[in-house]
Amino acid sequence: GNSVTQMEGPVTLSEEAFLTINCTYTATGYPSLFWYVQYPGEGLQLLLKATKADDKGSNKGFEATYRKETTSFHLEKGSVQVSDSAVYFCALRSAGGTSYGKLTFGQGTILTVHP
Amino acid sequence: EAQVTQNPRYLITVTGKKLTVTCSQNMNHEYMSWYRQDPGLGLRQIYYSMNVEVTDKGDVPEGYKVSRKEKRNFPLILESPSPNQTSLYFCASSLASGVEQYFGPGTRLTVT
């Protein structure tokens, strides 16, 4: 079945530091890939997405590139802010078959940014 | 405002006492889904619904029921809750099964 693996957390950074959160996946076919963000006490919000190989998703200074050859979708940001402190989830959406539309999530990575 | 709402947001109950968590969306979405979030496990799908009167099991359906009598509502029913169902629950909806899902604010359930 499909699976998503994220780097172990939590991650603690100083403001303006560079962020990378690794995400790799296992899936059949050509899934779509997502990063969701969960701020304290809130539900999940879509941060960015990519629907095919070599696509780059970007939003709010975050970027991730769909790498089919390495089955990866790593999240990066050049300069984090305190307001970026949240839990980040990598997810994939099945491309077809009986699981079409289902989201499979990684375990989440807690990011804390200090001033 | 387009949104997914859940009620209650917090619930503490005892083993075996039936409960229902409601989910409603105002976006006329066909696809709705329930997830539970547990530390170190991410979100796991409980049940989903492709449209009215069409529901199917996700990865962890045991101990849960759902119904989809109206397009906007997708309640989650725990007939006999047990402590291992203590978790954070999220409802989500999307226009179709293959596009972005919108999540509700979550319901934190504790079963003692």
A80-94, B51-65, B97-111: least confident range:
B97-111
pLDDT tens digits for range A63-88: 999 999 999 999 999 999 999 999 99
Instruction: Give the type of residue at B80.
Output: S
Q: CB–CB of A43 and B104 under 8 A?
A: yes
Q: Looking at residues B5-17, what average pLDDT do you find?
A: 97
Residue B109 pLDDT exceeds 90: yes
| Residue A43 binned pLDDT confidence (cut-offs 50, 70, 90) | confident
Higher pLDDT, A103 or B23: B23
Q: How far apart are CA B49 and CA B56, in angstroms?
A: 6
Percent of chain A with pLDDT over 90: 75
- Mean pLDDT estimate for chain B: 93
Higher pLDDT, B30 or A9: B30
Touching check for A40 and chain B: CB below 8 Å?
no
Tell me, what's the pLDDT at B97?
60
Percent of chain B with pLDDT over 70: 98
Q: Closest to A102 (Cβ–Cβ): which among B41, B45, B100?
A: B45
Tell me, what's the pLDDT at A100?
59
Q: Looking at residues B29-57, what average pLDDT do you find?
A: 92
Touching check for B61 and chain A: CB below 8 Å?
no
Chain pair A-B, CB pairs under 8 angstroms: 53
Instruction: Give the type of residue at A57.
Output: G
Q: Looking at residues B44-72, what average pLDDT do you find?
A: 94
* Selected residue of A102, A109, A110 to mutate for chain B interface (largest B Cβ count, 10 A): A102
A17-26, A103-112, B16-25: least confident range:
A103-112
Residue B107 pLDDT exceeds 70: yes
Under 8 Å between Cβ of B13 and B112? yes
Q: Looking at residues B39-45, what average pLDDT do you find?
A: 89
| φ/ψ (deg, to 5) at A46 | -70, 125
Could you give the C-alpha distances from B95 to A46, A106, B70, B99, B102, in angstroms and in order? 15, 23, 15, 7, 9
Residue B63 pLDDT exceeds 60: yes
Tell me, what's the pLDDT at A2?
86
pLDDT tens digits for range A3-32: 999 987 899 999 999 999 999 999 888 889
Q: CB–CB of B96 and A101 under 8 A?
A: yes
Q: Tell me how far the alpha carbon of residue B11 is from its chain's centroid.
A: 14
| Strand duo A109-114 + A11-14: pairing | parallel
Under 8 Å between Cβ of B108 and B86? no
In this structure, what DSSP letter does residue B59 have?
Answer: S
Question: Of the candidates B48, B52, B36, which has an alpha carbon nearest to the alpha carbon of residue B90?
Answer: B36
Query: CA-based angle B103:A12:A25, to the nearest 5?
Result: 50
